Structure 1
Amino acid sequence: MLDSGAMDQAVPEYNVFGSHPVEVERTFWYRWIVGHQLSFALWRAMYEVVGHSPDTVPSPPELDLLAACVDAYSAMLIYSSTVPRGHYHSHIRRRMALQHPAISGTWAPDYRPVRRIFRGKLPWQGDPSCEALGKAVARNAATHDYIADHLVPDGPSLLQQSIEAAGVTVSREKEELYDNFFLTVRRPVSRVQFVDQLRARVAGVGTDLARNGLYPNVGGHHHPVVTGQSGGLMMTLVPGALRALDEAIGLVTAQQVQGVGA
C-alpha cells in the first residue's frame, strides 16, 4: 500500500462545490468521456491480476490493487454523474441513443472479463484475506445503484427500453460502437504507455476538479449527486475521488514495473 502521508502531499486538493460558472456542455461531456475511459483502464488493470488464474486467491499486493481499482471506479461513477439530470437526458443520453438505441455498459469490452469480481462470483472472494476487496465491491454496488437511480429515477435504461428489438447478445460490432462513442481506439501498447495514459487522464481530472469542484457551478446553482443524507458508503469518495485514483494508479504502476522485470 502507498504511504498515506506521502499520498496526502501528492494529491491535489479540490473543493466539493465549485465557485466559477462552467461551460455546461463542454464540462460534462468531458467528464462523461474521461470518467468512462479511466474506468476501462481500471478494469483492464484488474484483469491483469485475475485473468490468468481466476480460481487462485491473488497475493496481498494484488488484492490491494483490486480493492483500490474498484474504489477508483466508484469515484469515476460519481465524477461522471455530476452532470445535471436535465442536461444528461437532453444531451448525453440522447447522444448515446443516437449511437445505438440499446447502448449499454455491458458492451464495454473491458468490463465483461472482470464482472464476476463485482458480483462476488470468483471462488476465492469469500476468503478472509479479501475483506477489503469485499468492502470496496459493496461500495461500488451501492454507488452504481445510486447513480442509476439519480440519473434515471423511476425509468428504464436504454438497454431495457430496447431489449426486445436489440436482443441481449454482445457482438464485436456492439463493442466497437461502445468504444467509438467513448472515443476509444484499441491497439497494442506497452506497460509504460498504459500507465502514461492513466496518469494523463487523472491529471486532466485533477485540473478539472481543482478549477470547477466536484459539483460545478451551473448558472449559479450546484447539482450535488451524493450528499450527507444519501451518501452512506459513498461519502468518503466525494472529497476523496482523486485520492482513490492516486492510490489505484500507484499500485497499478508498481504491478507494471514488476511485470516489466518478470
Structure 2
Amino acid sequence: MDDDVCSACYRRELQPREPCSRCGTVAPIRSRPDGVNGYCNKCYLRELHVGRCCICRVRKPIAIRDRGNPVCPGCYRREFASHEKCRVCENVALVAARSPRGEAICPYCYGDRYRPRARCSRCGDVEIVQARDRQNGKPLCAACYRTTVQVAPCTYCRRTSRVMTRTTSGKPVCATCYGRHHAPREKCALCGELEKVKMRLESGRAACNRCYQRELKERPQCALCGQFRVAGKHIRGKPICGACIRRKGVGQSLQLFGITRTRSLLRRARR
C-alpha cells in the first residue's frame, strides 16, 4: 500500500509543474480559465481572484468572503485569523502552523525550526526554500534568490536593481519605474487629479499624497508653542513643530527640556 502524503508535501514535492502562460514561471498550475492556458498561483491571485475589500476598500486578491463580501489577506490577518499562544516562544501571535499535537506555532518559530529545507540548486547548501527557479522549478535559498533572481535589468530604465514587480509578460520592473508606470492611480476625491493612492476615506474614495499631507495628516500639539502642526522633530517623544525648530534652533529646544547640549544629542536631533 502506498504511503500517505499530506496536501502541503504534495504541493511542494509531487505536484506537476509547467510554465505559466502569463509570467513563464515553472510552477504548479492554479487555474485554467479557458481550459488550456494555465495560471500559476501568483498570476491567478493578481489577475483573476481579485476584488474590492469590504474593510480597507482597496482592490486586492481575495483571501476569504465575509457574508459574501471579499476580504483581502491583510485585513483577514488583522480581523479574522486566529491568534494563539505559540508552543515554542509562548507569545500570542498569528498561527502559521501546528505541531503534531495540534499546538499553535507562530510565523517566526515556524521559519526558524519547522519550515521545510532543501538543497539549493545554485549554491548546493541545504537551506529554507525562498523561491524556485523560473525555468526549471528547482529550489533556491534566500541568498541566491536575492543575488540572482530578485536582481535584474529593469525593462524601462535598463538599470540592474531589485525587482519590484513584473509586467504581464514577466519582464522585471524596478521600484522607481513601478511608481512611474505601474502604481495604481485613481481620481483624488479632494483635488480631482489622477494621482497615486496614498490613503482612502471612509467612503472608500482615494486621496493623493499631496492632499493627505495638506489636509488629512494628523497634526500633534507642539510641546513648545502649543500649536497643532506637523512635527519637525521628536525630542524625548514630544513633538516639536518646524517653526519652533527654525526659530529657537535645535540646541535651545533641547535646553527647554533640560537636556544638556552634547554632541551626540545635537547630532541625533538634527537628523
Which structure has the larger Rg over C-alpha atoms? Answer: 2
TM-score (norm 1): 0.24
Question: When you count strand as a share of all residues, which structure comes out higher?
Answer: 2
**Of the two structures, which has the highest relative contact order with CA contacts closer than 8 Å and spacing of 6 or more?**
1
Question: When you count helix as a share of all residues, which structure comes out higher?
Answer: 1
TM-score (norm 2): 0.23
